[in-house]
Chains A and B, each alone.
Chain A
Amino acid sequence: MRHAKSDRIALSVLGWTVALVMFFPIFWMVLTGFKTEAEAVATPPSLIFTPTLDNYADVQNRADYLKFAFNSVFVSLGSTLLALAFAIPASYAMAFFPTWRTKNTLVWMLSTKMLPPVGVLVPIYLLFRDTGLLDTRIGLTLVYGLINLPIVVWMLYTFFKEVPRDILEAARVDGARPADEIRHLLVPLSLPGIASTALLAIILSWNEAFWSLNLTASKAAPLTAFIASFSSPQGLFWAKLSAASTLAVAPILIFGWMSQRQLVRGLTFGAVK
């Protein structure tokens, strides 16, 4: 018994040490956001200080943080709604009326995810330039909607398959059309699944940084691109960088924690259960 107890204590110590080490950069970022710029660069690192909210005010007043935050919200929500609008009918059809083509279609959709973005950077950039989509929220929304569509279809497909077929079949016998079936039965019945799919799509769009850095400038830049503007060597402001980063990371971190179990399903396309 004594042996088991000391084992358990060792485990707790180890588990917590690893957790604190992994989390330390985030903790330090949050802490630095409440320091003055002088305290932020102090060595040895200052642990005792009077917290200040000045950085948060500065990030808004000097850099118009809210504009970039709005771009992020617009693009993440817009692209997620777009992907859902396309994916719900497709996943419904594939989950309830599989044909010999279904499996191939699903796998093919997935394979479009594996195209490295840099392989199509040049044409997309030129197409966006010529159609006036460069540095627009709509342009970025379209791109994110498309890159997330395969994951959304795939996740919804696995959730829809869990809905009892009998209920939908009974409705069909009563003469319900597919649109009614989706609206009045499927969506309400699989709402938790749709919600966690949407959450994953939002997380992925919010953190996407290849297309946002290449397709946006000052007007439509989301937070990923805004934070990148802190990388200029002249005048690094660690405390302000930390405050802006904390604001940018916090909402999505909470979303991520909420959806961690469904995340595995979405990220591995159901290959790990």
Chain B
Amino acid sequence: MTISIPIQPGRQVIRRGSRRRVRTLPLVAPSVLVLLLWMIVPLAMTLWFSFQYYNLLNPMLSGFAGLENYRFLLTDPALWTAMANTLILVGSVLAITIVAGVLLAVLYDQPFAGRGIARLLVIAPFFVMPTVSALIWKNMLMHPVNGIFAWITRSLGLGVVDWFADVPLLSIILIVAWQWIPFALLILLTAMQSLDNEQKEAARIDGAGPVAMFFHIILPHLGRAIAVVAMIETIFLLSIFAEIFVTTSGGPGLATTNLAYLIYSRALLQFDVGGGSAGGVIAIVLANIVAIFLVRTIARSLDR
């Protein structure tokens, strides 16, 4: 294959290795600029609105509110319910997906007949759009009358669980965990494959059984990858929205309202821009606490 490079006539020949000749600023600047705008402008607006009286339904009420929006939000029990729900949702999904992810990574690292296809089937849920997963689970699996789960438990004589009425938050947790187990598996499987075979062999010769092998060789090796999975999932799980939007709309009561859904309902259903923005600021602060750790881990991997 020949590649022809147009040559600039009359251009001075550049010395090999003199890299500064290429001006990189015009190449990088557009990306930086659009991202800066995308980040700074709305962020500044959120911050500004959070200190204003601003309700789309009541234009008479306006002006500087000081910390009034925050005071109102922080003394509202709904916020604390939403915070608790957010933490339960994130914590449970993390626990389920990481434990399942590690076990499945070990399982799918072993050779067996048809492993390639089995792997494809397991990771499939990650590519299903959230609105589809939520509605399929809610209607066809968890429906108390016509759902598969109800049919199974009834056939076993165990009675029926009305998932979204009896255990609404758990139902959401199960759906979200189903979507994210493949993510944990994909990443941990990649990490498994970088495990040194010699190290495993040496441990086996030293008489390490499968259990000792798991706890002393495999788990420590996966430590970093587990941390990365936990942090990336946390960032996404803090903002779970579509699954709640299409199944419960935050209910019954506030049972499945997380922080993201609370802000949405304040701002776009009750048109309280000020209050919604104050909630937004709280969400940003929360996410940033996790983000700092994640960014550090990733920045460290850049140096290697």
**Residues of A that sit less than 8 Å from B by CB:** 8, 11-12, 14-16, 18-20, 22-23, 25-26, 28-29, 32, 40-45, 86-87, 89-90, 92-94, 96-97, 99, 103, 105-107, 109-127, 146, 149-150, 153, 169, 171-178, 180-181, 184-185, 188, 203, 206-207, 209-210, 213-214, 223-225, 227-228, 230-231, 236, 238, 241-242, 245, 248-249, 252-253, 255-257, 260-261, 263-264, 267-273
Instruction: Say whether B6 faces chain A, with CB atoms less than 8 Å apart.
Output: yes
Instruction: Say whether B168 faces chain A, with CB atoms less than 8 Å apart.
Output: no
A43→B132 contact, CB < 8 A: no
* Interface of chain B, main secondary structure: helix
Closest-CB distance, B210 to chain A (whole angstroms): 10
- Please measure, in the bound complex, the distance between the C-alpha atom of A11 and the C-alpha atom of B110, giving whole angstroms: 8
Residues 116 to 148 of chain B near chain A (Cβ within 8 Å): 117-133, 135-137, 139-141, 145-146, 148
Closest-CB distance, A226 to chain B (whole angstroms): 9
- Contact code string B32-56 (vs A, CB < 8 Å = 1, else 0): 1011001101110110010000000
A115→B146 contact, CB < 8 A: no
Q: List 27 A-B contacts (CB under 8 A).
A: A16-B114, A16-B118, A43-B151, A86-B30, A103-B299, A107-B302, A119-B283, A122-B263, A123-B42, A124-B42, A127-B42, A150-B35, A171-B5, A175-B13, A184-B4, A188-B3, A209-B245, A227-B131, A228-B242, A231-B131, A231-B247, A245-B136, A252-B127, A256-B126, A264-B186, A273-B190, A273-B194
Please name all residues of chain A whose beta carbon is closer than 8 Å to the beta carbon of B260 when the two chains form the complex.
116-118, 210
Please name all residues of chain A whose beta carbon is closer than 8 Å to the beta carbon of B11 when the two chains form the complex.
175
A111→B295 contact, CB < 8 A: yes
- Please measure, in the bound complex, the distance between the C-alpha atom of A75 and the C-alpha atom of B271, giving whole angstroms: 28
B139→A123 contact, CB < 8 A: no
Closest-CB distance, B237 to chain A (whole angstroms): 11
Interface size on B, residues (CB 8 A): 116
Residues 10 to 38 of chain B near chain A (Cβ within 8 Å): 11, 13-14, 16-17, 19-22, 24, 27-28, 30-32, 34-35, 38
B16→A116 contact, CB < 8 A: no
A249→B128 contact, CB < 8 A: yes
Interchain CB contact (< 8 A) of A149 among B13, B28, B35, B108: B35
Please name all residues of chain B whose beta carbon is closer than 8 Å to the beta carbon of A11 when the two chains form the complex.
107, 110, 112
Known: A25-B125, A125-B267, A178-B22. 13 other contacts (CB 8 A): A18-B118, A26-B124, A32-B140, A41-B146, A43-B150, A107-B302, A117-B241, A153-B31, A176-B6, A209-B245, A210-B239, A248-B132, A273-B190
Interchain CB contact (< 8 A) of A114 among B24, B42, B187, B288: B288
B27→A89 contact, CB < 8 A: yes
- Please measure, in the bound complex, the distance between the C-alpha atom of A16 and the C-alpha atom of B107, giving whole angstroms: 10
Please name all residues of chain B whose beta carbon is closer than 8 Å to the beta carbon of A96 when the two chains form the complex.
19, 22
B301→A271 contact, CB < 8 A: yes
- Please measure, in the bound complex, the distance between the C-alpha atom of A177 and the C-alpha atom of B8, giving whole angstroms: 8
Closest-CB distance, B292 to chain A (whole angstroms): 9
- Please measure, in the bound complex, the distance between the C-alpha atom of A149 and the C-alpha atom of B38, giving whole angstroms: 11
B49→A25 contact, CB < 8 A: no
Q: A107-B299, A118-B260, A228-B245 are in contact. Are A172 and B124 (CB under 8 A)?
A: no
Closest-CB distance, A175 to chain B (whole angstroms): 5
- Please measure, in the bound complex, the distance between the C-alpha atom of A255 and the C-alpha atom of B129, giving whole angstroms: 13
Instruction: Say whether B218 faces chain A, with CB atoms less than 8 Å apart.
Output: no
- Please measure, in the bound complex, the distance between the C-alpha atom of A94 and the C-alpha atom of B117, giving whole angstroms: 38
- Contact code string B63-92 (vs A, CB < 8 Å = 1, else 0): 000000000000000000000000000000
- Please measure, in the bound complex, the distance between the C-alpha atom of A271 and the C-alpha atom of B181, giving whole angstroms: 19
A90→B131 contact, CB < 8 A: no
Please name all residues of chain B whose beta carbon is closer than 8 Å to the beta carbon of A173 when the two chains form the complex.
13-14, 16
- Please measure, in the bound complex, the distance between the C-alpha atom of A90 and the C-alpha atom of B24, giving whole angstroms: 8
Closest-CB distance, A141 to chain B (whole angstroms): 13
Q: A227-B131, A253-B124 are in contact. Are A115 and B5 (CB under 8 A)?
A: no
Please name all residues of chain B whose beta carbon is closer than 8 Å to the beta carbon of A19 when the two chains form the complex.
117-119, 121-122
A121→B146 contact, CB < 8 A: no
Q: A227-B131, A236-B139 are in contact. Are A119 and B124 (CB under 8 A)?
A: no
Residues 261 to 287 of chain B near chain A (Cβ within 8 Å): 263-264, 267-268, 273, 276-277, 279-281, 283-284, 286-287
B242→A210 contact, CB < 8 A: yes
Q: A114-B287, A224-B130, A248-B132 are in contact. Are A272 and B276 (CB under 8 A)?
A: no
Instruction: Say whether B224 faces chain A, with CB atoms less than 8 Å apart.
Output: yes
Closest-CB distance, B1 to chain A (whole angstroms): 9
- Please measure, in the bound complex, the distance between the C-alpha atom of A23 and the C-alpha atom of B39, giving whole angstroms: 38
Q: A23-B124, A32-B140, A114-B294 are in contact. Are A90 and B27 (CB under 8 A)?
A: yes
Instruction: Say whether B62 faces chain A, with CB atoms less than 8 Å apart.
Output: no
Q: A120-B280, A245-B135, A270-B301 are in contact. Are A109 and B31 (CB under 8 A)?
A: yes
A268→B28 contact, CB < 8 A: no
